[in-house]
Amino acid sequence: MYQKLLNNLEALKLEKTYSYLPNYLDSIARPDVSIVDALLHLTEKELAFRNERASKAQVVLSGFPFVKTLDDFDFDYQPGVSKSRMQDFASLRFMSGAENLLFYGPPGVGKTHLAVAIGVVAASSRQITYFISCHDLIAQLNKAHSENRLDQRIRHFAKYKLLIIDEIGYLPVDKQGANLLFQLVAKRYEKYSTIVTTNQAFSKWADIFSSSVVAGAILDRLLHHSHVVKITGPSYRLKDAMDIVGGSAATAEKGALDD
């Protein structure tokens, strides 16, 4: 009978219950534990396991270039970034109002780290999330346009509860690409949240998108219902390089003194 029970659990793919059952049977062999309590506890274990597995799968499917959290961010190195404000964003409250986040600042200051950290929270909460660079996004839209399946591709990117578009402004965008991006932004407008990172001031977006009209239309929809985070601190990459150089210099100096 016991083996039949295990076989049934395996057939039903109740993996956590299957692995948890042998030790659990010993712990509930007491008169003060009812069958209902035992079954409730087992089902809660199974649900928690499935939720955790689904959360991890969603993070993998989100396309993040790396997985980092706000705990990994050095707020002391970037004192201009409010930790409490980032934690509020990580509560995902902004998503309930289909609000956007725009991280603006020079290269290396942590814009992508913050965007990913918030995205990981969303994905872990099983909000369908996707991360993509602006260059790759426009390349995909251009390809879909040439293959006469643009509507399908726009619907694909429009479905995400949170879309993260990284590195707007690092490469120029031609007029067709700008128009395609506008169509996607317009499709998502006031429906779902978008996070954008950019190294260019919004006043320069007309140069990026080869059209002041299209740039203005994109910004109009992104900035309405949005939170803008301007980061003006030093580059993390420069800090890492200086740490390496400093460490090498200290090692060399110690070696000279030892000699």
Q: How many helices (H) and strands (E) does the chain have?
A: 12, 5
Residue 155 carries which side chain, given as an amino acid letter?
R
**Count of alpha carbons within 13 angstroms of residue 130, beta-carbon side:** 13
Q: What is the pLDDT of residue 252?
A: 46
> What's the token pair of residue 258?
């030892």
What fold, for 70-238? Rossmann fold (3.40.50)
Q: What is the pLDDT of residue 137?
A: 98
In this structure, the number of other CB atoms found within 10 A of the CB of residue 201 comes to 10
Q: What is this structure's pTM? A: 0.80
pLDDT digits (tens, 9 = 90+) for 71-117: 999 999 999 999 999 999 999 999 999 999 999 999 999 999 999 99
Domain map (residue ranges) of the chain: 2-61, 70-238
pLDDT digits (tens, 9 = 90+) for 110-126: 999 999 999 999 999 99
Alpha carbons 234 and 9: distance in angstroms, whole number: 55
Is 28 a residue whose pLDDT tops 90? no
pLDDT digits (tens, 9 = 90+) for 177-209: 999 999 999 999 999 999 999 999 999 999 999
Q: What is the pLDDT of residue 9?
A: 65
175 — pLDDT class (breaks 50, 70, 90)? very high
> Which of 116, 117, 108 is closest to 242 using CA atoms?
108
- Over residues 232-252, the mean pLDDT reads 64
pLDDT digits (tens, 9 = 90+) for 126-139: 999 999 999 999 99
> Which of 71, 120, 75 is closest to 229 using CA atoms?
75
Q: What is the pLDDT of residue 243?
A: 61
- Over residues 40-68, the mean pLDDT reads 86
Are residues 164 and 195 in contact, defined by beta-carbon separation less than 8 angstroms? yes
Alpha carbons 196 and 177: distance in angstroms, whole number: 17
Cβ neighbours of residue 231 under 8 Å, at least 6 residues apart?
78, 80, 81, 103, 104, 105, 106, 109, 110, 111
> What's the token pair of residue 22?
């042998």
Alpha carbons 122 and 64: distance in angstroms, whole number: 12
